[in-house]
Structure 1
Amino acid sequence: MARAGIDYGGMMHRAMQGLIAEVLRKIADEGLPGEHHFFITFDTRDPDVQMADWLRARYPEEMTIVIQHWFDNLTVDDEGFTITLNFGNSPEPLRIPFDSLRTFVDPSVEFGLRFETQDSDDEDDEDDEDEDAEYELDAEDDGDDTPPSGGGEVVRLDRWRK
């Protein structure tokens, strides 16, 4: 039985992918500004990932690429991006769909996104996998390492759910 309502997980997933696509399009057009560089981890088991067989053998589950000093042929579309990177003086093209992404980090500004898909053991739960995704956003923009004043409280919303 399908649940009615707002698919916040799917909407967040698409929004974060759109943000990454926008950043990569800007880099493809203008290059990397200043100290910006990216660590991008993706699931190499995704059927739409295109990479050399020797790279897939070396990274059978996931791979982290660095976009920093040298990259070529960066193109971005709605489904993912292609890029040529240098692996031991061997330029290799990669096709990385946005759905395969696990992390996107720009350490120069302490910004990161993490996409996690959690598998459910409950066979009755046939929800779209986007609804099982968790998102973590790490952004530090004020440079202040002082912990916030006041206390924190965990609020449980279960008692208000129907």
Structure 2
Amino acid sequence: MSRSIDYGNLMHRAMRGLIQEVLADVADNGLPGNHHFFITFDTTHEDARLADWLRDRYPREMTVVLQHWFDNLVVGDDGFGISLNFGDSPERLFIPYDSILTFVDPSVEFGLRFETQDQESEAEDAEASPPLRARRDEPETEAEADAAGDEDEAQDAEVVQLDKFRK
């Protein structure tokens, strides 16, 4: 019976813990400086809570912006609740950490991307990148993402053999 360490899930948990810690600090102290967040999440996640009209408008995923106006940010162990303004109409959302697809803070060019199991399977079939990438060059808008094109691909790491440093 062989057993292996599931580094992918461990990294996902650690990165979601990072998001939880950042949001808890913002809930306690507000957004510092020019920091702001673009958070894309899976609206089909069973624990995601949003108004029916928002779910109808965003049937698969939705990006919310935490910047100028948000209220009642409550950070929990499984996700966070927040009130956001949609056309002068405040709406309450609950976003589970497991539903987060991307977390970007463009003010410091920091971003995280999480891929689902289906995406991981497709990526393995296509010999694509690992399931989680911490990135500092996420585009701020869809237009910038489209313009980035192939520049968005992950770079391969160089493997260094320690034997060449031995005397």
**TM-score, length basis structure 1:** 0.76
**Secondary structure at 2:14's aligned position in 1?**
helix
Report the equivalent of 1:98.
97
Within the alignment, does 1:136 sit opposite 2:133 as a pair? yes
2:131 aligned counterpart, secondary structure = strand
Deviation, 1:153, is: 7.0
**CA–CA distance in structure 2, aligned partners of residues 41 and 115 of structure 1:** 10
Higher helix share: 2
Q: Give, as a single letter, the amino acid of the residue that structure 1 aligns with 2:27.
A: A
Equivalent positions of 1:60-71 (< 5 A) are 60-71=59-70
Q: 1:89 to 1:15 in 2, by over 3 A?
A: same
Q: What is the DSSP-based 3-state SS (H/G/I as helix, E as strand, rest coil) of the residue aligned with 2:134?
A: strand
TM-score by length of 2: 0.74
Aligned to 1:82, the other structure's residue is in SS state strand
**RCO comparison, higher one (Cα < 8 Å, 6+):** 1
Instruction: Calculate percent identity across the aligned residue pairs.
Output: 65
Q: Does residue 117 in structure 1 map to residue 116 in structure 2? A: yes
The total of aligned residue pairs comes to 132
Match of 2:42 in 1: 43
Unaligned runs of 5+ in 2: 123-129, 138-155, 160-167
Q: Could you tell me how far apart the structure 1 residues matched to 2:157 and 2:131 are?
A: 21
Take 1:17 and 1:39, find their aligned partners in 2: how far apart are those partners? 15
Instruction: Specify the alignment match of 1:11 in structure 2.
Output: 10
User: Partner letter of residue 83 of structure 2?
Assistant: T
CA RMSD of aligned residues (A): 1.9
CA distance in 1, matches of 2:34, 2:133: 23
Counterpart of 1:112 in 2: which secondary structure?
A: strand
| SS of alignment partner, residue 35 of structure 1 | coil
User: 2: CA distance between counterparts of 1:43 and 1:28?
Assistant: 22
Return structure 1 stretches of 4+ with deviation > 3 angstroms: 152-155
What stretches of structure 1 of length at least 5 have no aligned partner? Answer: 122-132, 141-151, 156-162
Alpha-carbon shift at residue 117 of structure 1 (Å):
1.7
Structure 1 residues 134 and 153: CA distance shift in structure 2, 3 A: closer
Residue type matched to 1:137 in 2?
A: A
